[in-house]
Amino acid sequence: MIENAEFLLTILMSVPLLGIFFSAISKENPESAGRNVLSVGILTVITNLVILMLIGNNLIHGSASLQIMKKFEWLNTPKIEFLFAVDTFSLPLIAAVHIAILLGFFGVLNNSYRQKTLVILALVFLEMMIGYLLAGDLFSFYIFFEAMLLPLFLLVGILGDMHRQDILYRFFLYNLLGASLLFMALCILFNHQHVTIQTINTVVLSRNLEMIVWGAIFIAFLSRIPIWPFHYWISSVNVNISNPLVFIIANILPLTGVYGLIRFFPLTAPGIIAPYLLVLEIISIITMVVIALIGFSHRDVQYKIFSYMTVYYILYLLGALLPTDALLSNIGFSIFSWLIIVAAIEVIISHIEKERQQLGLPEYGILKNAKTISFALSFFVLAAVGLPLSSMFLNNMFIFAGLLTYNLKMAMFILFAIILSSVNLLQHLFYLKYSDNENSEKNVVAIDMPSPIIIVLGATILLIITSFINPLWYME
Amino acid sequence: MAINFVFILLFSGILSFFAPKKHVAYLCHLLILGAFGYGIAALSDCFATPDLTVMWEAMPNFHVLLNIVPVAQTKVLALGLLIFGAVSVMYNITSAEEQSKSFLNGLVVFNIVLLLVALCSTNYFQLLAAIGMADVVVYSMLNSYEAKRQYIYGNFLADFLLLNIFAIILGQHDNIEIVDSGGYSTDWHHRDYIAIILLTCILIKSGMAFFHSAYQKMSPLSANRLNFILFMTTPLMGAVILNTLQDVLDISRYSLPIIRIFAILTILWGACGTFVMYNNHRKCSYMAMVFWGLYFCAFSWLSSINPLSFLMFLGMAYLFNTVLSNVGSSMQGKIPVITMLVAAIGYMLAWWNFSGTNIILAIAGEGVIFMLTAHVASTYKNSTIQSILPAISRLWLYITIIGGTSAVFYLIPDILRLLPHIVVIAIFWCIVATHNPFAYRIEKFNTENIQTGDITTSIYETMLLAPLQITGRVLRLTIDIVFLERTVISSIKNAIRFLIYIFRRLHSNSVLSGIIFSLLGALIIAFAYYNGVVK
């Protein structure tokens, strides 16, 4: 245990800034092919992971409240303070975001196009995510909530594939709605009482104002989660990005919506919007089923991964909306493995696709002669579908237990959607692995994977298995 | 101090994965056999071994007590599993067909350990974790892609269903102890739902009729691998679940009839398959189906299951299948028939001993086993294929068959009384095996559709997967493209375009736009004045 561990939070937030600085000044020439800047990015994330381990070591296991806190005073009139804090729920999420981005960095190891821009923007996004997940006051919460859109917007604009104008249009349209609503709601709250996120439920407002404020907050967070009709912009972004790092970043974004709802409505939703929760649940479940069905009929693997992620994001959302806070740590530890697993799958899939295009191989049965990649992909897909290989397995069971207890009929649809989205992943795995004689002749050339990626994937597999055996291994 | 045998088994299994193939492979095989021997000695009470109880911090808010201590009821089964594990490892070592022996032996060890974990489980979490991990082990054992695909689809579904049953129980009663399920089963909600879902899971795991496709796709596997999977892995795990969660099944009145219907269907399907199949390995899969069908019949009609009798039945079925899968590659002339006769007598005796308390069931089962074993022997009586099996492999095969059958003779209490019957049955068996009226009729079933077709997969694809895919496409077209893309986003785009057009016109250099723009400004001022000052 370290006494006065608050300084660790300052370091945690400063390291990415330093990383951005060094990335910006790192020298790049055609020979280095973007390796210098990538090394800075990787080092930054690894440093932060070590700091996260130290922070984890200082957290008291079992305590639900915010533990390590750091306060910065900015203005006296109006009084604006930045409060950063961490608890046992946010820590695994921060760690998962770091590892996912680290995997993304390894995924772009051989990328030569705009590598510097890519790494800098990824680090900016990471900084914003850390700030958002640590934010303990409304002001910083809002700033980071909105600011993280900028690097993603630029990344999609620079590295997006076809139809990028249309995608950016949708991106802007949907996020503008969310941003404006949240801004309005927080202005009203900030004007009425100087509240923090922890005391937000104590604010007394007139009935109409309360309806407006909570309704706005609700819609703002939902606009980030792929619930109908907000799913469309996220699916458009996903399907049109082949760069694994950008894909991973785009898929981390919905986490902010789920996290926001959990932070704002820790136990129960405010009374004024509580009646609408049932409507939200119904829409969520319909979205799950619809997206899973569309994913089932879609040939594009990116859409299949999006479909899988959507179903799970909504599962976590529904778990978080249950009138109990006992599931929070289960959600946190399940998301930890889930986010890392999806990032690893995306890195492998994009690598396969790149190799396939370079070697001119058919997609069907491409992994027949690539045993290492096949093993890694099989492991991550099996863990993703919920076999006992990661912390998702038993933690999800608790989430299901909660959902099944409250409404069995609704939960049946959830289960159907989860099964279907998992089958989507399995379907693609066997599509890549399975090969009849005719195709195996074409796939004589075995696709390869650079050793650093294999090592990182191996380490990720160990981490995932460790999370299954003992998810709290880093805590005392 | 003696170490718990599970640790030694796990250690030998892990070592087997990483051992270099040529140099230390034999040492690893010896280590594994030694570990099994140590386990068998420990369970036979040859020396005191410490209990294995581990506190598993599986979740941030929940701890599970992992318990691998075989009690009186499970001890016999645990002992049997270790013996079968050692026998399988020996089959693998002596096999010429098997390429990656060390890896397979490691998986065999892991599978046996996971079966022990499931067998000894006292809570749902331990059971579920063991079942799920065993699926991953079996998945790794399969070296045929189609088999892997079918296996994992089915078993993922089964595991997921099981997880949901446990989630419901956990949600309703906040208790994960299996022993408590009998007591509070009367208070449960959704009883039929829980029981039927649990049964579905068990039927998938044990490869019963309509859920057997995955096991039929395993015919490209080597004989040892195939037989081990058919008897000692997932189907056996299904039987373990059936026994362990019997109290949960009993909460619905539909459970027993469903088990009986599926058991009979499975026997019929398996028997038909065994009769018409030409491929030896497919025949083995159907024979295994018959075995599991018989077991489910016994479970539903007998008042209790005797672990030792079940072990004998399982062991003899496994041995018979091993003979069957090696016939043609190892034996010529009359040897296959004689070897099969010994194995079949052992098989029939084991069934008689297992189901003896229900005479109708016992006789019906004997009839099925008699006909099937005699029929498969009849198809090999004229086998002229040259032996390709190494002598050591054949020797081990004969040792296990003779050893297994002798063990059955030794363990059945009133064997002397049965001897005349056994002799009569053996004579009849030989007659049927040499003059089988069906042997020449099966030629008309030698068609592509029957021999390699898979009707159940076709049913699933037509009735389930195709409608889901069509629904998905329709939803994509209607919701994503027609509604959101063409209607909502298009409308917003057009509205913004229209607004831009209006404002352009307002800003254009014309008198009319100037007047409209000024009027709009005045209107806003008036509205603001009314709201801010007058009101």
DSSP codes joined into one string, B375-416: HHHHTTTT--PPP-S-HHHHHHHHHHHHHHHHHHHHHSTTHH
Q: Under an 8 A CB cutoff, do A426 and B152 touch? A: yes
For residue B146, the distance in angstroms to the closest alpha carbon of chain A comes to 7
User: Out of B167, B471, B488, whose CB is closest to A293?
Assistant: B471
Using the predicted structure, report yes or no on whether residue A279 has a pLDDT greater than 80: yes
Which residues in A lie closer than 8 A to residue B156 (C-beta atoms)? 385-387, 422-423, 426
Q: Under an 8 A CB cutoff, do A394 and B59 touch? A: yes
Which residues in B lie closer than 8 A to residue A435 (C-beta atoms)? 145
Q: Under an 8 A CB cutoff, do A404 and B167 touch? A: yes
Q: Which H helix or E strand runs over B164?
A: helix B145-173
Q: Under an 8 A CB cutoff, do A397 and B163 touch? A: yes
Lowest mean pLDDT among B59-63, B68-72, B240-244: B59-63
Q: What is the pLDDT of residue B431?
A: 87
CB pairs under 8 A between A and B: 148
Q: What is the pLDDT of residue A432?
A: 86
For residue A5, the distance in angstroms to the closest alpha carbon of chain B comes to 22
Q: Under an 8 A CB cutoff, do B480 and A294 touch? A: yes
Question: Exposed, middle or buried: residue A406 (CB in 10 Å: 0-12, 13-18, 19+)?
Answer: middle
Q: What is the pLDDT of residue A463?
A: 92
Q: Which H helix or E strand runs over B52?
A: strand B52-59
d(CA B391, CA B434): 27
For residue A31, the distance in angstroms to the closest alpha carbon of chain B comes to 39
**Contact assessment for residue B296 and residue B268, using Cβ atoms and an 8 Å cutoff:** no
The CA–CA distances, whole Å, from B258 to A62, B206, B268 equal 45, 14, 15
N-to-C CA span, chain B = 92
Using the predicted structure, report yes or no on whether residue B503 has a pLDDT greater than 50: yes
Cβ neighbors of A68 (< 8 A, separation 6 or more) are A5, A6, A8, A9, A55, A58, A59, A85, A86
Using the predicted structure, report yes or no on whether residue B232 has a pLDDT greater than 80: yes
Q: Under an 8 A CB cutoff, do B163 and A423 touch? A: no
Q: Quick: pLDDT tens for A390-430.
A: 888 888 888 888 888 777 888 889 989 999 999 999 988 88
- For an interface test with A, the pick among B187, B480, B488, B494 (most A C-beta atoms closer than 10 Å) comes out as B480
Question: Quick one: tokens of B196?
Answer: 């039927």
Higher pLDDT, A61 or B142: B142
**Section A116-132 average pLDDT:** 92
**Section A185-212 average pLDDT:** 76
Question: Quick one: tokens of B203?
Answer: 């039927």
**Contact assessment for residue A266 and residue A337, using Cβ atoms and an 8 Å cutoff:** no
Pairing of strands B52-59, A68-75: unpaired
User: Out of B160, B167, B472, whose CB is closest to A297?
Assistant: B472
B511 touches chain A (CB under 8 A): no
CA angle at residue A147 from A146 to A151, to 5 degrees?
120
Q: 3-state DSSP call for residue A85?
A: strand
d(CA B462, CA B449): 17
**Section B183-201 average pLDDT:** 81
Q: Under an 8 A CB cutoff, do A387 and B156 touch? A: yes
Q: What is the pLDDT of residue B151?
A: 92
Please state the three-class secondary structure of B502-513 as a single string. HHHHHHCCCHHH
Provide the percentage of residues in chain B whose pLDDT is more than 90: 33
What is the Cβ-side half-sphere exposure of residue A233, based on CA atoms within 13 angstroms?
26
**Residue B330 binned pLDDT confidence (cut-offs 50, 70, 90):** low
Token pair 């919701």: residue:
B479
d(CA B254, CA A463): 44
Pairing of strands A68-75, A80-86: antiparallel
**Contact assessment for residue A167 and residue A156, using Cβ atoms and an 8 Å cutoff:** yes
The CA–CA distances, whole Å, from A332 to A52, A62, A92, A326, B55 equal 15, 13, 6, 11, 22
Using the predicted structure, report yes or no on whether residue B36 has a pLDDT greater than 80: yes
Q: Under an 8 A CB cutoff, do A470 and B57 touch? A: yes
- Chain A, nearest residue to B171 by Cα: A401
Q: Under an 8 A CB cutoff, do A397 and B170 touch? A: yes
Which of A39-53, A147-161, B32-46 has maximum average pLDDT?
A39-53
B139 touches chain A (CB under 8 A): yes
For residue B278, the distance in angstroms to the closest alpha carbon of chain A comes to 23
The residues that bridge with B123 in the sheet, in sequence order, are B177
**Contact assessment for residue B243 and residue B305, using Cβ atoms and an 8 Å cutoff:** yes
Question: Quick one: tokens of B100?
Answer: 């990656």
**Contact assessment for residue A220 and residue A138, using Cβ atoms and an 8 Å cutoff:** no
Question: Quick one: tokens of B390?
Answer: 């190494």
B156 touches chain A (CB under 8 A): yes
Q: What is the pLDDT of residue A132?
A: 92
Q: What φ, ψ does residue A67 adopt, rounded to 5°?
A: -110, -65
Higher pLDDT, B214 or B414: B214
d(CA A365, CA A440): 7
**Residue B1 binned pLDDT confidence (cut-offs 50, 70, 90):** very low
Question: Ramachandran region of residue A360, left (φ > 0), alpha (ψ -120 to 50) or beta?
Answer: left
DSSP A59: S
Question: Quick one: tokens of B527?
Answer: 């509205």
Question: Quick one: tokens of B355?
Answer: 């189901």
**Section B307-331 average pLDDT:** 83
Q: 3-state DSSP call for residue B64?
A: strand
B171 touches chain A (CB under 8 A): yes
d(CA B181, CA B204): 23
Q: Quick: pLDDT tens for B253-284.
A: 899 999 999 999 999 999 999 888 888 888 89
- For an interface test with A, the pick among B59, B64, B217 (most A C-beta atoms closer than 10 Å) comes out as B59
Which residues in B lie closer than 8 A to residue A468 (C-beta atoms)? 58
3-state percent helix, strand, coil for chain B, nearest multiple of 5: 75, 5, 20
Q: Under an 8 A CB cutoff, do A398 and B170 touch? A: yes
d(CA B20, CA A74): 63
For residue A18, the distance in angstroms to the closest alpha carbon of chain B comes to 33
- For an interface test with B, the pick among A394, A408, A464, A465 (most B C-beta atoms closer than 10 Å) comes out as A394
d(CA A422, CA B156): 9
Helices in A298-327 by DSSP H: which ranges?
301-321
Cβ neighbors of A6 (< 8 A, separation 6 or more) are A68, A69, A70
d(CA B188, CA A1): 46
d(CA A386, CA B179): 26
d(CA B84, CA B214): 23
**Residue A312 binned pLDDT confidence (cut-offs 50, 70, 90):** very high
- Chain A, nearest residue to B134 by Cα: A388
d(CA A254, CA A335): 12
Question: Quick one: tokens of A142?
Answer: 């809002």
**Contact assessment for residue B52 and residue B78, using Cβ atoms and an 8 Å cutoff:** no
Pairing of strands B62-68, A68-75: unpaired
Q: Under an 8 A CB cutoff, do B146 and A434 touch? A: yes
B75 touches chain A (CB under 8 A): no
Which residues in B lie closer than 8 A to residue A310 (C-beta atoms)? none
Within 10 angstroms of residue A358's Cβ, the number of other Cβ atoms is 9
**Contact assessment for residue A38 and residue A115, using Cβ atoms and an 8 Å cutoff:** yes
Domain boundaries, chain B: 468-534
Q: What is the pLDDT of residue A32?
A: 66
Within 10 angstroms of residue A27's Cβ, the number of other Cβ atoms is 7
**Contact assessment for residue B399 and residue B102, using Cβ atoms and an 8 Å cutoff:** no
Which residues in A lie closer than 8 A to residue B493 (C-beta atoms)? 169
Question: How many residues in chain B?
Answer: 535
Which residues in B lie closer than 8 A to residue A391 (C-beta atoms)? 59
Q: Which H helix or E strand runs over B67?
A: strand B62-68
Which residues in A lie closer than 8 A to residue B480 (C-beta atoms)? 232, 235, 294
Question: Quick one: tokens of B456?
Answer: 């159940």
Question: Quick one: tokens of B360?
Answer: 């109708």
d(CA A390, CA A249): 22
Q: What is the pLDDT of residue A119?
A: 92
Provide the percentage of residues in chain A whose pLDDT is more than 70: 92
Q: Quick: pLDDT tens for A222-259.
A: 888 888 777 777 777 777 788 899 999 988 988 998 89
Helices in A135-270 by DSSP H: which ranges?
138-147, 149-159, 164-192, 207-222, 231-239, 244-264
B60 touches chain A (CB under 8 A): yes
**Residue B202 binned pLDDT confidence (cut-offs 50, 70, 90):** very high
d(CA A345, CA A343): 5
Q: 3-state DSSP call for residue A196?
A: strand
- For an interface test with B, the pick among A287, A397, A472 (most B C-beta atoms closer than 10 Å) comes out as A397
Q: Which of residues 454-483 of B touch A (CB under 8 A)?
A: 468-473, 475-476, 479-480
Amino acid A136 reads G
Distance of CA B34 to the CA centre of its chain: 28
**Contact assessment for residue A146 and residue A155, using Cβ atoms and an 8 Å cutoff:** no
